[in-house]
Structure 1
Amino acid sequence: MAVAHETTTGIDAAPRQQSAFSRFWQQNGAGYMFLLPWLIGFFGLTLGPMVSSLYLSFTDFDLLTSPDWVGASNYVRMFTADPKFSTSMRVTMFFVIFSVPLKLAFALGVALLLNRGMKGLPLYRALFYLPSLLGASVAIAILWRQIFAGDGLVNKVLALFGIVGPSWISNPNYSLWTLIILSIWQFGSPMIIFLAGLRQIPQDMYEAASLDGASKWRQFWKITLPLLTPVVFFNAIIQTIEAFKSFTPAFIISGGTGNPINSTLFYTLYLYQEAFGFFRMGYASALAWVLLALVAFFTAFSFLTSKYWVHYDD
């Protein structure tokens, strides 16, 4: 009798398990089917290539032969025997340190002007946002190279005032600054976000401050900027990541070389040269992972220090 009871219990368990799975699929199957394209893209186009890149960073791989495991040699070479790596890091850090604060300051200034309730605000928003859509394109980079050439528009304007301008692109003292100016020109995206944040600040706070005799400048430092720090923090994170990833302007303006004298050799441009110029895919993969670690470090540092200067309503 005991054997018959155990057999009956085992037979009845399978339909119950199948029924539970069937109920789960009936309740959630449609959702997983809608998620299937994203899951395929995530595992096939994001996670899979990342894992492959991590493996290749420990190999010597040239696309033509099988990867040869070399351990940490790529990373050792990068930090001890590659002067172009340190040059690209210096150029990129200079670009990030100057372009991000200047772009955010300019975007905030324009947002403050637009927040004054001028007529045709949607048109101005669209016009100011347009450079952010076009700034990373090849056409704009080519146009920028022509504007700052020796006989370009900038020098022609300076000649009207009797000033002989240099060839901004081919002069290592100014070439990187032309890319920084191009980055600042793409201020539309943070400007829109700043404008949305300004619209959320209660106007009665400004009215109370005016009654207390606070000037506009004091209202900005004591009311606007503290209440806007979450938006500043968000924009700073996004723009810093974008600055580290900047590639197209440097590639087009320098002709893919980083010249003059490697003054525009961005980290991403050097990575591109190693991967598709010399086909050192293993070394390029190591460079890519160092860039990922660098961006992650700056992002984590920003979040850790945000508690000292970012103010929320609570």
Structure 2
Amino acid sequence: MSSAELVKTAVIVEDDPDIRHLLAEVLESAGFSTVSVGNGIDGVRAVVNYQPLITTLDVNMPGMDGFEAARRIRQQSDTYIIMLTGLEEEADVVLGLGAGADEYVVKPFRPRELRARIEALLRRPRAGESAAAATPRQESVGPSFPTARVEIDTSAASAGTDVLLRPTAGEVATAGTAWLMHRDLHLDPDSRLVRLAGEDLDLTRTEFDLLATLMESKRRVRSKADLTLVLRGESYVTSYFVGDADKRAIEAHMTNLRRKLGDNPVTPRYIETVRGVGYRLTSETAAP
């Protein structure tokens, strides 16, 4: 089978069969073949075997929960991870994003909104890809699909052996020429490289996008709602509503980003909080 004929794959990790079925319908309508499993351990195995473009993860599952599954998947794969969480458990959103999820969907979710979020994710480059090369790819590393949908029976308890995770070899990116600079922090939007004091900085896709937005905006304040829409994609057509959970998610990403920058929010060197509004870069002339 040629690369043009390879099918986009999505892995669904969800213990509720009705939600599994609904997720499969939404993803298949978006052109994906689906693999569905009912627990976190089998979900990690499915991602390792099928290397999907999209993975949906339920938060509350028997055995391995969605947080641990996301951490293990992220060690092994650059699949886009969409976390599913209950409306009343906003802390799950923060924990899920910290574990490596790219997006979250609140239950009960609207199929059209899920479809729009998936389309927005696919417009964003994945780890190790430049913006110019951010076209969806599907590697033929797992079993071929006899049909558009695969449901893996997880009614029996999974075997005691766990998934062995291999370290992912990082791709070497060629540095672009249009570096954004702020103090000793340098960012190249084309190669998606970040260097702090001459050392490469390892950021998640979302952390990179947030930092790039702030560095492009310089001293212009970007609100949490504004940053949420940036992450969703400029053509997010279903809804422009930004709720409290979205804003908490931005706060969680910003906390992780500041930690990696070694930035103290009380006496910031790179990113400062404008109380009640949002975030912006510090002044170049301000004391560290």
User: With structure 1 as the length reference, what TM-score do the two structures score?
Assistant: 0.21
Could you say which structure has the higher strand fraction? Answer: 2
Larger Rg: 1
User: With structure 2 as the length reference, what TM-score do the two structures score?
Assistant: 0.23
Higher relative contact order at CA 8 Å, sep ≥6: structure 1 or structure 2? 1
